[in-house]
Amino acid sequence: MKHFNSSLIVALIGFISAYVFLGGLETLYIVVLLSILEISLSFDNAVVNAKVLETMDPIWQKRFITYGVPIAVFGMRFLFPIVIVAVAGGLTIYNTFLMAVYAPTQYHDILAREDVHNLIYAFGGSFLLMVFLSFLLDEERETKWLNVIESNSFIKKVATADHSETVVAIAFGLFLTSYFNSVSIALAYFTGVLLHSFLVTLDDLLHTDGIRSGIVGLLYLEVLDASFSFDGVIGAFALSSDIFIIMIGLGIGAMFVRSLTLYMVEKKTLDEYKYLEHGAHYAIFALAVIMFVKMFTPVSELIVGTIGIIFIGFSLWHSIQEKRKQE
């Protein structure tokens, strides 16, 4: 339980603040629901985070909490939506903040606009797609799970080509942006692809004896967290239009996800359950697909969370079965 002590403390402070300062029992209930929403949508994020953290120096694993939580809570779940609304509405950051505090309905209406949604989903979807393709088309990865997908002759052949994941992502991006005929969507989508490629390249340059560069690893994890948080931030407005309530609720959930990540790293969970990482990446792919689908039609957050849980649950069950066979 030691890994979750800080999360429990943050949760207690958040719950008390919500009850005392933001509206009593009803607000507290919404904060609890938001926390659960964030955890359910981000469990697969925790698994992938753990895989990245395993390759980082122990001091940076601790900094993942020290620096990562403020960025996740205040940056991605508070400041980032304000920046998005400011850009979309042609407003200053300060005026957008005032709108979020004193005119939350107007703030929500801008964030909920279809053109704003499409930019968010194009960026987040492309980054998550690159994460999945980099995993699927990794020729050096020895452990396979769904052989019909991961070990078929076509995938094996594609995986031998250099930068195959980038080529696939660019091809899909050209189709997507030509369909919408939008320069903004093209910029958002290819920024996600470029950012992933940049971080991977920088990591390769700074990798030393199998240890990932701490700062690059942290940046990668924060962008990954950002891509996962888009759905949660937007979906949270279905429960509340108060950005402080949303920040507290999603922030508590983000804290527990980070504690779970550190727990899995220390307990070597990914070594013990060898298909868990696979399930998380398929859940990431599903989330990327859903983000692209949302550019055409609404999709319930319930579906998003359920698909992720199904992939994680099935991969965990399969890992347990394999473990029993080896004993």
pLDDT in tens, 249-288: 988 988 888 888 888 988 888 888 989 999 999 998 999 9
Longest CA–CA separation in the chain, Å: 62
Tokens of 218: 């942290």
CA dihedral for 20, 22, 26, 31, sign (positive or negative): negative
Q: How many CB atoms lie within 10 A of CB 318?
A: 18
> How confident is the prediction for the chain on average, in pLDDT?
85
Q: How confident is the model at residue 316 (pLDDT cuts 50, 70, 90)?
A: very high
Q: What is the pLDDT of residues 142-157, one digit of tens each?
A: 889 998 999 889 998 9
Cα separation, 61 vs 292, in Å, equals 32
CA dihedral for 294, 298, 299, 301, sign (positive or negative): positive
Q: What is the pLDDT of residue 171?
A: 96
Amino acid sitting at position 118: N
The structure's pTM equals 0.85
Cα separation, 151 vs 17, in Å, equals 51
Question: Mean pLDDT, to the nearest integer, of 26-48?
Answer: 86
List Cβ<8 Å contacts ≥24 apart for 21-29: 22/242, 22/244, 22/245, 22/248, 23/245, 27/240, 27/245
Q: Which residues are CB-neighbours of 226 under 8 A, at least 6 positions away?
A: 76, 80, 124
Q: What is the pLDDT of residue 52?
A: 83
Q: How confident is the model at residue 291 (pLDDT cuts 50, 70, 90)?
A: very high
Q: What is the pLDDT of residues 162-201, one digit of tens each?
A: 889 999 999 999 999 999 999 989 999 999 999 999 888 8
Q: How confident is the model at residue 211 (pLDDT cuts 50, 70, 90)?
A: low
Q: What is the pLDDT of residue 1?
A: 63
